[in-house]
Structure 1
Amino acid sequence: MSDTITKTFIQENTVLLNDYLKRHLPEDIANEQLSSAMQYSVLAGGKRLRPLLLLAMVKTFGGSINESTLKVAASLELLHTYSLIHDDLPAMDDDDLRRGIPTNHKKYGEAVAILAGDGLLTLSFEWLATAGLNTNTTVKLTRDLAQAAGAAGMVAGQVSDILGENKQLTFKQLKQLHRQKTGALIKYTALATNDIVNPEVDNQKLLIQFAESFGLAFQIYDDLEDVVGTQQALGKAVRKDANEHKNTYPGLRGVPQTILDLKKCVQYCHQALSKLEKNHVSTELLQGFLNYFQLDEEEK
């Protein structure tokens, strides 16, 4: 039942998010070439997982999906897309494909790609500031997004990833890298929900626990997909991590143990949701998001 509820929610709200981005993104960009480059990456598709998860959390705790919450969710997608554009650059991962099409710098050149990423990063905070929420909520959202995306979160994780190439990190260091590089923005979905809806304190903590475990599971799953997935299915090059001597779960732990690590993270997600259920919170919608981590039979 939760799977059906979640699939319907994702289908309906992906349409809303894509429509919002398509309508409003061009309005806030003053240069035609910059506008083209920014829209190219944002509107190229993608799962919209982070904004959808945020909206699902808001709905779970009785909040409304309206223009304000849509703009908050869309601002997160802008910031995530900026990180992908910069991550693909020759100075970092040097990728040719993203979401099944040429990466931004392959299409527009490195200079415009860097500036397109800069534009999306700053515009994400402009959208937060103009989402129509009260001042206190806006300040909290801005603080939480800055911390998640910045020098204590995603950017710190990216630096650790780059500096860790050709070195073997410990398991503890690898988990910390993943929590920062990928997990921080996913944890933000819970922080943002708490800022907007303000659930009871115990439920706020449980939602953060769910998001933290989900974020780590997401990166572990991504590591696995790089090993066992295909370029056609993922829309990007595969097996690059091993070729570039990056630190990954399969590289450090082996595929069988990585699958067990993934299952443990998903179990932690279920445990947090179970505790929310005991607090009389319906979690069917969020439970359905855990189906993202389905493994093929041969992978199990």
Structure 2
Amino acid sequence: MSLEQSFQEYLKANLPSVQSFHPFFNEALSNMLLAGGKHFRAKLLLSVVTHLKPSEFKKALQIALALECIHTYSLIHDDLPAMDNADFRRGKPTLHKLYDETTAILVGDALNTEAFLLIAKSEFKDEIKTRLSEILAFNAGLHGMVLGQAIDCFFEGKRLNLEELEFLHLHKTARLIAASLEMGAIICELENKQCKSLYEFGLKLGLLFQINDDIIDFLGDEKSAGKPTKHDTQKNSFVNLLGIENALKSKEKLSLECENLLLDFDEKLAFELKNLMQKYL
């Protein structure tokens, strides 16, 4: 069974739910988790574990699900009327369109906190669970994704320079991608130097991911993207700042930098990470 199939099966068998008399809250909790998506962050974590400490793979699936919960909560909140006001995500109606805004906010809140419960209830040693929680909280919260989103929303319609744009997307997108790799390294109990190397690679990979997303928004169609395209005209994107030709050149440059960093990694892990890059970027 492939890594993708293993995670898909685990996700479907372990969807968050709660006993209550609410008519559709459990359905709403599962909706966006089941709507598809790349599961890119979960795959990064599981790739590290698969190649460096495969005996921990089954236990690591729960941590990969925690990552997916955090990422999905961020998408749900990102789509809200107060932020991007998006009608579609992953080719399906966004939660506030399918249900209502209150449900979307609360589902996002639930998935955010559920992620840390999943880590706390996992079978890893306490010191590993503590580090996993710390890394996820740092990179998904105030010092990472939340700060990036705050800057993105506040400066919409106001042009940032390249340094500011990279700061925005290093926080909003890249830190959680980097955290996925670092969390895999923590599960494998790698040395600090190896953990840092994977994290630094993840930051570059995250910027590459964002540039690619901006290019897809500019060049792609709604069906292939799974969401409205040509939607970021007021956003601070790499395409809007650099133009499409220079954005494509920046993507190529970052791709080469990522591939060069892979030369220092375990050969099998580097091969797997390169495959993920080629498949999704």
Shift of 1:26: 4.3
1:127 paired residue number: 118
Q: Percent identity?
A: 36
Q: Cα distance 1:125–1:282, how it changes in 2: closer, same or farther (>3 A)?
A: closer
2:249 paired residue number: 260
Q: Is the counterpart of residue 217 in structure 1 residue 208 in structure 2?
A: yes
1:3 paired residue number: none
Q: Is the counterpart of residue 246 in structure 1 residue 235 in structure 2?
A: yes
Q: Cα distance 1:226–1:78, how it changes in 2: closer, same or farther (>3 A)?
A: same
Shift of 1:105: 0.6
- Counterparts of 1:145 and 1:28, CA distance in 2: 24
1:6 paired residue number: none
Q: Indicate which of 50, 63, 77 corresponds to 1:72.
A: 63
Q: Cα distance 1:111–1:227, how it changes in 2: closer, same or farther (>3 A)?
A: same
Shift of 1:238: 0.3
4+ residue stretches of structure 1 with deviation over 6 A? Answer: none
Q: Cα distance 1:66–1:290, how it changes in 2: closer, same or farther (>3 A)?
A: closer
Q: Is the counterpart of residue 13 in structure 1 residue 3 in structure 2?
A: yes
Report SS of the residue matched to 2:2.
helix
1:55 paired residue number: 46
1:292 paired residue number: 279
Letter in 2 for 1:15: Q
Q: Indicate which of 27, 39, 49 corresponds to 1:36.
A: 27
1:4-35 per-position Cα deviation (integer Å, ceiling 9, x unaligned): xxxxxxx7222222222222224556455221
- Counterparts of 2:222 and 2:181, CA distance in 1: 31
Letter in 2 for 1:64: S
Q: Cα distance 1:286–1:143, how it changes in 2: closer, same or farther (>3 A)?
A: same
2:167 paired residue number: 176
- Counterparts of 2:123 and 2:74, CA distance in 1: 25
The TM-score normalised by the length of structure 1 is: 0.89
Between 1:110-119 and 1:18-27, the stretch displaced more is 18-27
Paired residues, what number?
280
Higher RCO (CA < 8 A, seq sep 6+): 1
Q: Cα distance 1:272–1:174, how it changes in 2: closer, same or farther (>3 A)?
A: same
2:224 paired residue number: 233
2:175 and 2:202 in contact (8 A); partners too: no
The TM-score normalised by the length of structure 2 is: 0.94
- Counterparts of 2:103 and 2:17, CA distance in 1: 19
- Counterparts of 2:3 and 2:106, CA distance in 1: 29
Between 1:189-198 and 1:56-65, the stretch displaced more is 56-65
Q: Indicate which of 273, 281, 300 corresponds to 2:262.
A: 273
- Counterparts of 2:4 and 2:11, CA distance in 1: 10
1:276 and 1:283 in contact (8 A); partners too: yes
- Counterparts of 1:64 and 1:95, CA distance in 2: 41
RMSD of the TM alignment (CA)?
1.7
- Counterparts of 1:76 and 1:143, CA distance in 2: 13
